[in-house]
Amino acid sequence: MLKAVIFDMDGTLLDTEKVYRRAWRVACDRACIDDADTVIKNCTGRNRADIRKYFERTYGADFPFDEFISVRESAFDRIIEQEGIDAKEGMKYCLDYLKENGIKIGLATSTNATDAEQRLRMAGAFEYFDAIVTGDCKRVKKGKPAPDIFLAALDALGVTAEDAIAVEDSPNGVRSAVSAGMRTVMIPDFFEPDTDTVSMLWKRFDTLTELRDMLCVDRNI
């Protein structure tokens, strides 16, 4: 029987990936990077350490990565300060159902702890979570698509992979959850799953509302 659901945050629970895309474009324009779409696709779902490695491989060790990320983060902060953060469709509907039915709720996000808490509070979702594991957690040695973050979340919740499902929006996140041995639901945001990603999925939905409705019908999954 299902005992826990572990969610990704950006693009899965919070409609922040559209903000990130705008912020990435600001930083790419400043750094004279033409193919922002490729950068965004390769970095979505990864923590900062892995993004740094990607930039070193792609643009060389001399690329001013810290300056680039500072520009991106400033642009992101400016946008959410002006416009706020929207929840993804069905977020509270889904979280309320899980809470009311005693199903533990976990978070596995590549975002750092301070920013994750701020964003969840802005969206009115922070208090739902029984365990939150972030990209800067010391137990997460490797970021997504490695399984570390989901394994840490399972441990924090005190459940096995067999008794939990993961919910993700990106291929990197899907690979991370599947590698942790979890049944994985994908609710795509900007990137539709490719053939390899589809082959790993347990379920695919368009919204969190559909996920909640499925769980409501069958708790014995």
**Contact at 8 Å (CB) between 43 and 51?**
yes
When comparing pLDDT for 53 and 44, which is higher?
A: 53
- Over residues 34-55, the mean pLDDT reads 88
Q: Is the pLDDT reported for residue 219 higher than 70?
A: no
**Contact at 8 Å (CB) between 144 and 47?**
yes
Q: Is the pLDDT reported for residue 29 higher than 90?
A: yes
| Residues 109, 65 within the same domain | no
Per-residue model confidence as pLDDT tens digits over 108-162: 999 999 999 999 999 999 999 999 999 999 889 898 999 999 999 999 999 999 9
| Residues 8, 24 within the same domain | no
When comparing pLDDT for 181 and 221, which is higher?
A: 181
Helices (H), the chain: 17-30, 36-43, 48-59, 65-83, 91-100, 113-122, 148-157, 171-179, 195-200, 208-217
| Residues 150, 52 within the same domain | no
Q: In the structure, what pLDDT confidence band is assigned to residue 1 with cuts at 50, 70 and 90?
A: confident
- Over residues 53-69, the mean pLDDT reads 95
| Residues 183, 195 within the same domain | yes
**Paired tokens of 150:** 């989901």
pLDDT of residue 105: 98
For the entire predicted model, the pTM comes to 0.85
Q: Is the pLDDT reported for residue 220 higher than 70?
A: no
Q: In the structure, what pLDDT confidence band is assigned to residue 49 with cuts at 50, 70 and 90?
A: confident
- Over residues 60-68, the mean pLDDT reads 95
Locus of tokens 């301070």: 114
pLDDT of residue 87: 96
The domain that contains 156 carries what CATH number?
A: 3.40.50.1000
Handedness of CA 29, 31, 32, 34 (dihedral sign): negative
- The candidate with the shortest Cα–Cα distance to 211, out of 178, 163, 173, 167, is 167
Q: Is the pLDDT reported for residue 45 higher than 90?
A: no
Domain boundary among 62, 83, 104: 83
Domain count, the chain: 2
The mean pLDDT value of the chain amounts to 94
What percent of the chain is modeled with pLDDT above 90? Answer: 81
Q: How many CB atoms lie within 10 A of CB 163?
A: 18
**Contact at 8 Å (CB) between 165 and 182?**
yes
Handedness of CA 187, 193, 197, 199 (dihedral sign): positive
**Contact at 8 Å (CB) between 39 and 33?**
yes
What whole-number distance in Å separates Cα of residue 181 and Cα of residue 90? 26
The residues with which 79 forms a beta bridge, in sequence order, are none
Q: Is the pLDDT reported for residue 13 higher than 90?
A: yes
Domain boundary among 43, 63, 83: 83
Provide the domain limits for residue 155.
4-15+86-217
| Residues 60, 163 within the same domain | no
